């Protein structure tokens, strides 16, 4: 027997509980006519919040709507005409309400089925919370927020309908009492008239008859009066209970669901996944607004009826004015709390740069605010002004801004298809900023501002006027790109560690490493596409706490031994803001955050693919790399992020004598000329990616395709091929020619030449690769790479997207004068050159 068949056989009380979970959000008629289909499709192991099931839930809702429309079309009998209309209306509602949020309907249906199963289990004395029915595909899910709130809304809607009926009944009773009272008054007047006439037998009989009628009428009046007073007290109690339940539900929606959405939005600023539930929250808020407005109208109607019938029993307080005040305050709280920023402005904001933002009033459509579209104004305020704003709302209207924003006003528009009242600011621009005085080590990148959005509108034909405002997430204002890393440190720390209900924009000065690690992991995963592993986070902890040692994981997933012995547990150690981004790392002129940010930026822009594949170890210290490679075959290599070069990645490899060499770090400028994969391809002495993966197997899909016949560019020039070459380690023959500039720069301190090439060595002073700043302690890069340009095809050469002229034009390369030492040519003449020249 199906679940629905069993549910229909439940006792009356249990059946009423089943009916209570259905309503406008999911009509019971849909459940009845599609019972078998629903029970078959609602798999118990599907988690609607899991992205991998997103497509399934979307297709499920689409199929449900189609099934509904098909079922409705098949109902032709006259007695099912109303049911047919109900199913058509349900399909229309589902399409409008759940097409963008199919997971919400999935949760509601599963909650309804779960309630049925629980009640059936109780009646059958099975006692289980999970039953296998309808081919085992229905799972019990009780306590789901979406379904629970929908159920509470439906219960409050029925309660409001009940009080509406009570109100109408009270009005009818009051009208009946007025008629009876009027009849009684007429009888009294008649008796008074008879009293003025001379008494006779006829008048005495008439007086007795009228007196009996008056007594009956007075008894009836007393009965009606008692009934009326009981109705009034009952209505007041029901309205009081409804307001209490509305308050509880509103608190849950605003203080839990909406606050959680805002927190998720803030974490999304650090790159956390953001599954926006705003449309569901709007639906709840609209239901609340509708119910609050209806109950407020009922209270006002009850007050009006009371004024028409001014009988106030002694000792009984009139609670309607207090209820009116309470529910009006609820409405005010709902309206002001649902004026929210749907799309936050950029949290690192550069002056004179266009930016966008969107604000939305969740209850605007339901309260018909769009009938008189409100204006929204945007200004930027300081942290101190934000504090003052929360203490005294008046400053929201007349406070001085901390800067000047262009295009900072807009009119809210109602979008019929989505039922959203919102305004999008698409061309705002910060022209000026006023900064506060700095204290101690504070910099402009530590200073937080916020965008203040303000509006005013009325509802109920001008009966209620609301002044609403909301603050954006903290914003750091910069004027130059080099301020960006520190600004992002401020924003990242604030987004990750802001506490609920804080004073703007207070954050803890010290945070446990476990929380910092999670924030860094979220940030790195969002930027690069792959999470940091435990050993990566340990490496970062050692760097942040200025420690050493640690262990790393191979591309295959096997951990390498920890060279420093006992591992330290950093998870509960407190990392300070100063350690995070203020104090330079030992023997470096940059901070922990600057190092991390530069590595993240490099990986995002140039190393994303190999990083996602797990081919870049990255977070490995130099000593660790040497110990890992020492026991490996010649030609084994790995890639690690440079400790000394911001945003640099170096290649470490094993030579013939098991000696480990480190290539001078590549940076973004190098990868703009030639990618990492192409450079690895160029270097023929690199054979196996640590521990034993063929380099072509790892990187071939990232190689730039090369063709023999290079077409001329638009300007008529033939583009040269740039090839990476390590002096002294062999090199690609470029079109059969000897590379024109190459050199060996001390290898491993021993001067080993490595694999010799098939060409004579060029004098070492002919060309020197870029030398690092001697004042900065480096990774001691043993070998510097250089480029071999040519027109032909090399063994591993790949075409470049840029030529030297382009690079120098954009300032990516230093001038030729910086790179050439011409002293050796002083005594060299043309006659000396000719004997050695042979035409190709």
Domains and CATH numbers, the chain: 3-100 (1.10.532), 143-313 (1.20.1050.20), 344-434+443-507 (2.60.40.630), 515-548+570-702 (3.30.505.10)
CB 786 within 8 A of CB 727: yes
Which segments within 460-521 are labelled E, that is strand? 464-471, 476-478, 510-512
Would you state the pLDDT for residue 412?
Answer: 92
- Distance, CA of 60 to CA of 112 (rounded, Å): 16
Give residue 393's pLDDT band: very low, low, confident or very high (50, 70, 90). low
Phi and psi, residue 521, nearest 5°: -65, -45
- C-alpha closest to that of 719 among 728, 710, 727: 710
Q: 608 exposed, middle or buried (CB, 10 Å; 0-12, 13-18, 19+)?
A: middle
- Distance, CA of 94 to CA of 758 (rounded, Å): 74
Would you state the pLDDT for residue 87?
Answer: 86
Is it the case that residue 558 has pLDDT exceeding 50?
no
Give residue 55's pLDDT band: very low, low, confident or very high (50, 70, 90). confident
CB atoms within 10 A of CB 159: 18
Would you state the pLDDT for residue 787?
Answer: 43
Which segments within 131-178 are labelled E, that is strand? none
Is it the case that residue 719 has pLDDT exceeding 80?
no
CB 725 within 8 A of CB 785: yes
Would you state the pLDDT for residue 832?
Answer: 47
pLDDT in tens, 486-516: 999 999 999 999 988 888 889 999 999 999 9
The larger pLDDT score, comparing residue 81 to residue 557, is at 81
Question: Which sign, positive or negative, has the C-alpha torsion 318, 322, 323, 324?
Answer: positive
Here the tokens at position 194 are: 């008879």
Which helix H or strand E contains 628, and what residues bound it? helix 622-630
Is it the case that residue 562 has pLDDT exceeding 50?
no
Portion of the chain with pLDDT greater than 90, in percent? 33
pLDDT in tens, 177-212: 888 888 888 877 777 777 777 777 777 777 777 778
State the virtual CA torsion across 102, 107, 113, 117 in degrees, nearest 10: 160
**Hunting for tokens 């012995």 — which residue is that?**
565
Which segments within 203-314 are labelled E, that is strand? none
Give residue 802's pLDDT band: very low, low, confident or very high (50, 70, 90). very low
The string over 579-597, giving b where at least 16 C-beta atoms fall within 10 Å of a residue's C-beta and e elsewhere, is bbbbeebeeeebbbbbbbb
The SS3 assignment for 696 reads: helix
The SS3 assignment for 603 reads: helix
The larger pLDDT score, comparing residue 217 to residue 751, is at 217
- C-alpha closest to that of 699 among 791, 560, 803, 796: 796
- Distance, CA of 332 to CA of 393 (rounded, Å): 14
Would you state the pLDDT for residue 551?
Answer: 42
Give residue 813's pLDDT band: very low, low, confident or very high (50, 70, 90). very low
Would you state the pLDDT for residue 307?
Answer: 82
The mean predicted confidence, pLDDT, of the chain is: 78
Q: Which of 263-277, 374-388, 553-567, 590-604 has the lowest mean pLDDT?
A: 553-567
CA 697 to chain centre: 37
565: DSSP letter: S
Pairing of strands 688-689, 636-641: parallel
**Inter-CA distances, 696 with 686, 702, 796, Å:** 10, 10, 11
- Distance, CA of 455 to CA of 86 (rounded, Å): 40
Residues 660-683, mean pLDDT to the nearest whole number: 91
């Amino acid at each position: 027997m199906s679940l629905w068949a069993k549910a229909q056989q439940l006792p009356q009380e249990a059946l009423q509980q089943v009916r209570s979970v259905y309503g406008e959000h999911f009509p019971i008629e849909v459940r009845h006519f599609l019972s078998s289909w629903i029970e078959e499709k609602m798999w118990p192991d599907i988690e609607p919040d899991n992205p991998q099931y997103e497509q399934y839930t979307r297709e499920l809702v689409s199929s449900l709507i189609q099934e509904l429309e098909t079922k409705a079309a098949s109902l032709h009998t006259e007695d099912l005409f109303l049911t047919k209309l109900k199913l058509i209306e349900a399909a229309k509602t589902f399409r409008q309400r759940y097409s963008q949020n199919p997971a919400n309907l999935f949760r509601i249906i599963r909650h309804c089925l779960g309630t049925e199963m629980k009640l059936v289990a109780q009646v059958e004395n099975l006692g289980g919370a999970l039953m296998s029915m309808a081919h085992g595909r229905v799972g019990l899910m009780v306590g789901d927020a979406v379904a629970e709130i929908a159920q509470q809304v439906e219960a409050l809607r029925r309660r409001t309908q009940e009080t509406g009926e009570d109100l109408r009944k009270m009005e009818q009773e009051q009208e009946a009492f007025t008629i009876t009272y009027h009849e009684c008054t007429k009888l009294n007047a008649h008796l008074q008239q008879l009293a003025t006439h001379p008494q006779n037998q006829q008048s005495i009989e008439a007086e007795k008859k009228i007196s009996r009628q008056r007594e009956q009428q007075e008894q009836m009046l007393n009965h009606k009066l008692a009934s009326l007073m009981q109705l009034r007290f009952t209505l007041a109690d029901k309205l009081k209970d409804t307001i209490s339940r509305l308050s509880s539900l509103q608190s849950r929606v605003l203080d839990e669901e909406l606050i959680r959405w805002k927190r998720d939005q803030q974490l999304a600023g650090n790159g956390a996944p953001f599954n926006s539930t705003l449309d569901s929250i709007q639906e709840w808020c609209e239901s609340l607004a509708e119910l609050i407005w209806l109950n407020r109208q009922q209270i006002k109607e009850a007050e009006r009826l009371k004024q028409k019938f001014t009988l106030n029993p002694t000792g009984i307080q009139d609670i309607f004015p207090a209820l009116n005040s309470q529910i009006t305050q609820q409405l005010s709280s709902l309206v002001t709390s649902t004026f929210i920023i749907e799309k936050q402005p950029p949290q690192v904001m550069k002056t004179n740069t266009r930016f966008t933002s969107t604000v939305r009033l969740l209850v605007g459509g339901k309260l018909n605010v769009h009938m008189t579209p409100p204006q929204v104004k945007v200004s930027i305020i300081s942290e101190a002004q934000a504090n003052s704003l929360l203490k005294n709302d008046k400053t929201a209207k007349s406070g001085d801004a901390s800067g000047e924003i262009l295009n900072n006003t807009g009119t809210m528009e109602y979008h019929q298809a989505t039922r959203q009242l919102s305004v999008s600011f698409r061309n705002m621009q910060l022209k000026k900023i006023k900064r506060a005085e700095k204290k101690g080590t504070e910099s402009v990148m530590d200073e937080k501002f916020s965008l203040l959005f303000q509006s005013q509108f009325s509802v109920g034909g001008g009966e209620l006027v609301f002044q609403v405002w909301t603050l954006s997430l903290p914003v750091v204002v910069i004027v130059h790109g080099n301020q960006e890393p520190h600004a992002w440190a401020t924003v990242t720390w604030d987004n990750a560690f802001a506490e609920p209900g804080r004073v703007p924009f207070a954050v803890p000065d010290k945070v446990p490493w476990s929380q910092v690690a999670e924030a860094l992991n979220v940030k790195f995963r969002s930027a690069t596409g792959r999470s940091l592993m435990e050993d990566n986070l340990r490496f970062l902890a050692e760097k942040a706490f200025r420690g050493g040692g640690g262990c790393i994981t191979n591309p295959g997933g096997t951990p390498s031994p920890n060279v420093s012995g006992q591992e330290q547990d950093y998870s509960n150690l407190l990392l300070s803001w100063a350690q995070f981004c203020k104090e330079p790392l030992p023997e470096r002129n940059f901070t922990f955050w600057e190092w991390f940010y530069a590595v993240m930026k490099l990986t995002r822009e140039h190393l994303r693919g190999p990083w996602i594949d797990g081919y870049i170890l990255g977070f490995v210290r130099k000593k660790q790399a040497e110990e890992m490679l020492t026991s490996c075959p010649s030609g084994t290599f790995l890639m690690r992020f440079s400790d000394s070069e911001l945003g640099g990645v170096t290649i470490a490899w094993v030579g013939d004598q098991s000696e480990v060499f480190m290539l001078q770090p590549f940076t973004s400028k190098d990868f703009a000329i030639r990618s990492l994969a192409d450079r690895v391809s160029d270097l023929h002495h690199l054979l196996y990616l640590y521990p034993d993966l063929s380099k072509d197997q790892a990187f071939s899909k990232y190689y730039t395709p090369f063709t023999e016949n290079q077409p001329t560019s638009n300007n008529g020039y033939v583009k040269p091929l740039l090839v990476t070459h390590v002096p002294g380690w062999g090199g690609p023959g470029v079109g059969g020619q000897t590379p024109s500039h190459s050199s060996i720069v001390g290898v491993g301190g021993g001067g080993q030449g490595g694999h010799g090439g098939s060409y004579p060595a060029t004098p070492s002073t002919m060309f020197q690769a870029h030398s690092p700043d001697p004042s900065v302690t480096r990774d001691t890069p043993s070998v510097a790479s250089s480029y071999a340009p040519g027109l032909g095809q090399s063994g591993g050469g790949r075409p470049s997207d840029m030529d030297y002229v382009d690079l120098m034009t954009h300032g990516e390369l230093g001038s030729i004068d910086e790179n050439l030492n011409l002293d050796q040519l002083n005594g060299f003449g043309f006659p000396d050159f000719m004997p050695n020249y042979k035409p190709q």
